Amino acid sequence: MNIHIFFFSLTVLFISPIKNLCNLLYAVSSNLDVLWKQLPTLFCNFLYKDEDVRPFPNKLMRPKSEEELLMERTKGYWRNAALNTIADKLRQRMNFNTAKNVIFFLGDGMSVPTITATRVYMGGEEKSLAFETFPYTGLSKTYCVDHQTADSACSATAYLTGVKANLGTIGVTAAVNLKNCTAMNQRENQLDSIAKLFQLQGRRTGLVTTTRVTHATPAGLYAHTADRHWETDTDVSTLNGDVTDCEDIAHQLVFGKTGQQLNVILGGGRRGFLPREVIDEQGNSGVRSDGLNLIEEWIKFRENHNQSYQYIWNRDQLLNIQNGTDYLLGLFQSSHMNYNKERNTETQPSLEEMTEAAIKVLDKQNSSGYFLLVEGGRIDMAHHYTWAHKALDETAEFSKAIQRAVEITNEENTLIVVTADHAHTMSFSGYAARGSDVFGYAGMGTDKLPYTILTYANGPGYRPPNDEGRRYVPLPEDINEIQYQWPSVAPMEKESHGADDVTVYAQGPWSHLFTGVMEQNVIPHLISLAACVSTDIECEETDTKAP
């Protein structure tokens, strides 16, 4: 008998079934205690070649102590926890004060699975993000006028102006089709944002974002455009717009009526404010073709109007804002700000630090209050590249910013709303053991190969099966990489948004109205009512008694 055939038969007869048994052992043991997890490693490891994929046991995060986990096995533990929650709910009183201040937190692309997975990332399934303890919660339907799934532009128009629009357009009605300048310039098609309504009452307004300040979400506060990508005059001319007719977004921020009155503008995107010939503080050149230096123009306007102002570009300056600054422009990067995991923590501020600085400038003694938009803008961008680690880390940063805002404001007079603009396609699935690292394996497929807890419906994380037709499965060293692109079912250059509803959380005056399943465009109408800036709904100013 040929020796090769002999070994081949041996493999088929014995090794294969043993390997299957081992695969099963691995899968079962990944749900057991650490000790038992060693079993398959001890008895089965010799069967595998280095390149073989096997159902590696997950790292355990074990946020809870053994004693706490034992408590969870008793009925008293769960009943007491439930009764405490009920006691909290019974203590809850509706707040009918006029909201002096409103802080609107927008997690770009912060879908429900993103929030759930971030709890585990932050230390355990039972953990809560800062906004998850807010008393009132609702769902928001995010579709836009011409598409089932929203982008950040039509979505920003809905939750900041109260009117739904077409995909890719900002601050204009759905009478404006994508890229139609003539239609975008018609006054009757332009929409006032919630910030504009605050400004009309002489109240302060501001925006904070981790993206370029001319990106879709912040632009929803101050711009009217038929194309979200017209961020600079150069973009307008390269993306078949007419520069003489279509005003770019950066220009609208500095010269537009609403943009001009914003007290706080913090984020990235410096290049859109500078001409090509100008090199910025960090050595990057501008991108404008019209020769305008919009930072200088912004300063000139403040001086002409005798306003106290500061232009800043790094973290040190942000942490040392002079008292009495009424207008603050902070541009911390040439393009978007870096992901938190990749930022230089000495020079680039965190979202939390920017939020705190913004509130300091907006919250002036004896003033009539403010509206602030804070965007965690890079949750979305991380998802587009199926970088799940970064998406969850950005969500954790977003939560920290909200935590800080809750600490330094007063629930009696400040309405805080937290929501997302649209979902993403990341799913959180399978039956991994309690306390498993969320960047781990969920179980075994019918192909006897493990699958990960996190997967995407589409995106650049797609890899074809190997030559033997075996499904791609990442190795533990792959999925521990912050830069790892998670598996996707359909190959796409960039992962798409999801169409599912997103959550809305609220605390403070009139937060009890932010409940049920609502159209996304209802949100700013509710804020207008709470802050008494509505032009459609009558409201009475009530004394909040709070400082």
Ligand X SMILES: *[C@@H]1O[C@H](CO)[C@@H](O)[C@H](O)[C@H]1NC(C)=O
Interacting residues with ligand X (CB under 6 A)? 177, 180, 182-183, 306, 323, 365-366
**Which CB, 226 or 479, lies closer to ligand X?**
226
Beta carbon nearer to Zn ion, 380 or 393: 380
Q: Is 152 a catalytic residue?
A: yes
Residue closer to Zn ion by CB (options 97, 169) is 169
Please state the closest distance from residue 182 (CB atom) to ligand X, in A.
Answer: 4
Amino acid at 187: R
Nearest distance in Å: CB 262, ligand X: 20
Which residue's CB is nearer to ligand X, number 409 or number 436? 409
Which of the choices ligand X, Zn ion, none does residue 366 contact, using the CB cut-off of 5 to 8 A by kind?
A: ligand X
Q: Which of residues 91 and 187 has its CB atom nearest to ligand X in the complex?
A: 187
| Alpha-carbon gap, residue 442 to 380, rounded angstroms | 24
Which of ligand X, Zn ion, none is residue 323 near (CB under 5 to 8 Å by kind)?
A: ligand X
Structure tokens at 374: 């804070």
| Binding region for Mg(2+) | 108, 215, 217, 375
- Residue pair 267/212 in contact (Cβ under 8 Å)? The answer is yes
**Which entry of Zn ion, ligand X, none binds 65, CB below 5 to 8 A by partner kind?**
none
Q: How big is the CA angle at 245 (ends 327 and 285), to the nearest 5 degrees?
A: 55
Measured at the CA of 344, the angle between CA 338 and CA 346, to 5 degrees, comes to 135
Summarize the annotated binding site for Zn(2+) as residue ranges. 108, 380, 384, 421-422, 497
Token output for 383 = 């998802």
The residues, ordered by sequence, that sit 6+ positions from 512 with a Cβ below 8 Å of its Cβ are 94, 95, 135, 136
Known binding residues: 108, 215, 217, 375, 380, 384, 421-422, 497
DSSP H or E segment with residue 309 = strand 309-312
Binding at 380: pick from Zn ion, ligand X, none (beta carbon under 5-8 Å per type): Zn ion
Minimum Å gap between C-beta 155 and Zn ion is 10
How many Cα atoms within 13 Å fall on the side-chain side of residue 31?
11
Give the β-pairing of 327-331 and 370-376.
unpaired
Q: Give the CB-nearest residue to Zn ion.
A: 380
Nearest to 530 by CA among 545, 509, 507: 509
Q: Which one from 29, 30, 140, 152 is the annotated catalytic residue? A: 152
Q: What is the DSSP string of 36-76?
A: HHHHHHHHHGGG--TT----PPPPB---S-HHHHHHTTSHH
Shortest distance in whole angstroms from residue 158 CB to ligand X? 21
- Tell the smallest beta-carbon distance from residue 150 to Zn ion (Å): 9
Interacting residues with Zn ion (CB under 5 A): 380
Q: How far is CA 500 from the centre of its chain?
A: 15
User: Closer to Zn ion at the Cβ: 380 or 501?
Assistant: 380
* Phi, psi of 215, rounded to the nearest 5 degrees: -75, 170
3-state helix, strand, coil in the chain (%, to 5): 40, 15, 45
- Of Zn ion, ligand X, none, which one does residue 71 interact with (CB within 5 to 8 Å by kind)? none
With tokens 């493990």, the residue in question is 450
Task: Provide, rounded to whole angstroms, the least separation between the CB of residue 396 and Zn ion.
Answer: 19
The option from ligand X, Zn ion, none interacting with 193 (CB < 5 to 8 A, set by class) reads none
Name the residues annotated as catalytic.
Answer: 152
